[in-house]
Chains A and B, each alone.
Chain A
Amino acid sequence: MLAVNHVTKKYGTFTALEDITIEFTGGVYGLLSPNGSGKTTLIKMLATLLFPTSGEILWEGMEIAKLGERYREVIGYLPQDFGYYKHQSPRQFLHYLAALKGIDRSTASRKVPELLQLVSLGDVMDTKMRKFSGGMIQRVGIAQAMLNDPKILILDEPTAGLDPKERVRFRNLISELSKDRIVILSTHIVSDIETIANRVIMLKDRKLFCNDSPANICHTLSGKVYETWEIESVAQPHFPLTQRQEDGRTLVRFVCETGCPEAARPVTPNLEDVFLYVYRDQVM
């Protein structure tokens, strides 16, 4: 189990995260919040790139900073800003990272092509990466994170820069990889995790806002989300969520806390509704 206990991270007088407590056991954890809310700070602490100002992060009951390489050998990490050696091929790059991950050369020679096949880069594994698209690079990133068959897979904004088709392929891949391990997936895009996350963690005002299953989180807005073609006729105080154009008319989806407006019909809330409503005061 990976446990974050009362972790606070400060940069000088600025507090990036405050008193965060989370336990990760198994499955996909979606870390969902707007940009700048501290997701990457938390992820970097889990990847041992940053150290908590106070609190502790434990893996199997031991502090990860003290575990050192014994902890790092069980993690796979795809950073938000994934850099790579442009002049190398994915095979060369992954062999280098395999060496850093303590994987012996014969195992790496078998595993590197396997993983590159898995992420559909088998045909270009010896092509220099400077010719690769954003999606291909991101798949190299996934492959390198999986090299050591990690017990904890940490993915920071992994779908950034991917087109819709690649996003779907990526979600399917993560779903496949999530068996028997902890997958922590940070994103501000609801659709990335809506269907694959077992639990969703939301941060707000630098603190933990919720840590629950998507169904339970959606349930917090149960009976409060409506849709209407005539938003002007809704007299009660409400918060508009999304708009959809159909036959020249606009269908508005909104939250109303004070009972059912007559001109609207209640709908089942989804994770995007909760996200928009929770972070309604924040610039996204």
Chain B
Amino acid sequence: MFIYRLELKKLLSSAAVWGFLAVCLLFNLFIIGHSVDEYADDVGAASEQTGVVLDPSFYEKLSQMTASGDRASQHLERLKAETDGVTDVFDGYETRNIGERYIAAAGTTGYFAEAMRDKYAALQKVVDEKAKNDESLTLYFAGVTYSRHQFLFNTLLGWLLTEGALVAVLLALLSVGYEHIFRTGHIVYSTKKGRAVLRPKLAASLSAGLGAYALLALLTLLVYFGVNEYGDVWRSSVSSLFNYRVDLIAGNRPFVTWYSFSVLTYLLAMLAAGAGVVLCFSLLAFGMGIWIRNSYIAFLVFLAAHAVCIAVPVQMPSTWPMGPAVKYSAVLSPVWLWLKHGLWFTDGDIDILWAHFETIGLFVSLVVLAAFCLFSALCFRKRNLA
């Protein structure tokens, strides 16, 4: 534990890491500065009085609301208009067509086509349940829901995930390459602890990576929710009738999640899954750092490996015997999970074959990468350190 603390201290004393975090925060503040939407703020404020469930009580409270000033009056009228006469989007909604369109567009056959159909058959049950519970009849941000949802869960959390992953990778490479950078490897690895020091190094780099991600998320979201009024919208379902997905193949469609998420629980789930992805990248970087002693080269190889991991499934023809298997399996890798973060906890898109792909992907990636780190550490114990 003491060595772990000392390793952690080594990482936290890096000015470069703090500098990088500061740049990330400044960037986040910059994009948050462009996210302000007065109408959304007024909807958030109104939700505190009306609640977010679009039931008779909501309409009654909304009708009793008054606004002072032109802008507020316009916003109140707009809210009334947008919520007037809305119906449950999940009533009679069929998911089968989505799967069929994906199958046709991708030219998928056999097992993979059946798996896609199975996924949408399972999603139909979820949709029916949502319809039964009137889950879509919640306010969210009314007419600006799509842009608000996309900004928070796609843009801002996307950047947070990218920054968190990058800083975690840098910390992992710094931790594993520290002795190479300072030429202290021969002393450190000939001590009693010896090469087993990789264990506290790994623990330190993982916790520092997660800590950096958590710090970035905390500060960024504090500012975001400080300048954007959410009111009672936290309790609104993300599968609100006002929320939708733009899908070039299946067309615009409701935002369906496998579980019922409020805005708050969806945010927490996204942050938790993001932490899992950060952990995956950190593990991968640490393992690579064991093999490649120079941290700068290791980082370049890390980037190149991910570029290949993205390019291969995209470029591989579906007609190749292993083409579809490679393509669908690749989505379970950390880099594809990162790319598809906007679809986490939903049915996904044409590239995603399995329900709960983010959970499966995280589990598989964590197991594989932990095994990779263990294997690398075992090889390191037998390696000649010239």
Contact = CB atoms under 8 A, between A and B. Distances in A.
A79 B385 CA distance: 12
A148 B194 contact: no
Contacts of A73: 192
Interface stretch (A41-49, A169-177, A183-191, A262-270): A41-49
A222 B148 CA distance: 94
Interface string A60-102: 0000000011001101010101111111000000011101111
Given A69-B192, A100-B192, A102-B192, A77 B385 contact: no
Contact of A51 (B10, B187, B191, B382): B382
Contact of B3 (A47, A72, A100, A144): A100
Contacts of B319: none
Given A50-B385, A69-B192, A144 B183 contact: no
B2 A72 contact: no
A105 interface: yes
Interface residues of B, number: 25
Nearest to A79: B186
A49 B384 contact: yes
A167 B3 CA distance: 34
Interface in A84-139: 84-87, 95-97, 99-102, 105
A100 B2 CA distance: 10
A155 to B, nearest CB: 12
A96 B6 contact: yes
Interface in B161-195: 179, 182-194
Contacts of A87: 13
Contacts of A11: 386
Given A69-B194, A105-B2, A100 B188 contact: yes
Contacts of A144: 187
B191 A83 contact: no
A101 B187 CA distance: 10
Nearest to A45: B384
Given A44-B385, A50-B385, A85-B182, A77 B190 contact: yes
A82 B187 contact: yes
Interface string B346-386: 00000000000000000000000000000000000010111
Nearest to A9: B384
A14 to B, nearest CB: 12
A77 B182 contact: no
B197 interface: yes
Main secondary structure of the interface of A (DSSP, over half): loop
Contacts of A68: 194
A102 B194 CA distance: 10
Contact of A99 (B2, B189, B196): B2
Among B13, B186, B197, the one with the most A-chain Cβ atoms within 10 Å of its Cβ is B186
Contacts of B192: 69, 72-73, 100-102, 148
A219 to B, nearest CB: 36
Interface in B121-149: none
A50 B186 CA distance: 10
Contact of B193 (A44, A48, A101): A101
Contact of B183 (A75, A81, A100): A81
Interface string A141-153: 0001000100000
A144 B184 CA distance: 12
A263 B191 CA distance: 57
Contact of B194 (A72, A96, A105): A72
A190 to B, nearest CB: 25
A99 B3 CA distance: 6
A52 to B, nearest CB: 10
A47 B186 contact: yes
Contacts of B3: 99-100
Contact of A83 (B2, B184, B384): B184
B22 to A, nearest CB: 19
Given A81-B186, A83-B184, A87-B13, A97 B385 contact: no
B14 to A, nearest CB: 10
A77 B13 CA distance: 27
A90 B183 CA distance: 16
Contacts of B182: 83-86
Nearest to A85: B182
Interface in B217-236: none
Contacts of B188: 97, 100
A50 B384 contact: yes
B194 A83 contact: no
Interface in B3-21: 3, 6, 10, 13
A79 B384 contact: no
A83 B194 CA distance: 16
A102 B193 contact: yes
Contacts of B386: 11, 44, 49-50
A100 B191 CA distance: 6
Kindly list the 5 A-B residue pairs having the minimum CB-CB distance in the complex, ordered from nearest.
A83-B183, A100-B191, A79-B186, A73-B192, A83-B184
Given A69-B192, A82-B187, 15 more contacts: A11-B386, A47-B186, A47-B190, A49-B189, A51-B384, A72-B191, A72-B194, A75-B190, A96-B6, A99-B6, A100-B3, A101-B191, A101-B193, A102-B192, A144-B187
11 contacts: A48-B189, A50-B385, A69-B192, A75-B190, A79-B187, A83-B186, A97-B191, A99-B2, A102-B192, A105-B2, A144-B187
Interface of A: 11, 44, 47-51, 68-69, 72-73, 75, 77, 79, 81-87, 95-97, 99-102, 105, 144, 148
Interface of B: 2-3, 6, 10, 13, 179, 182-194, 196-197, 382, 384-386
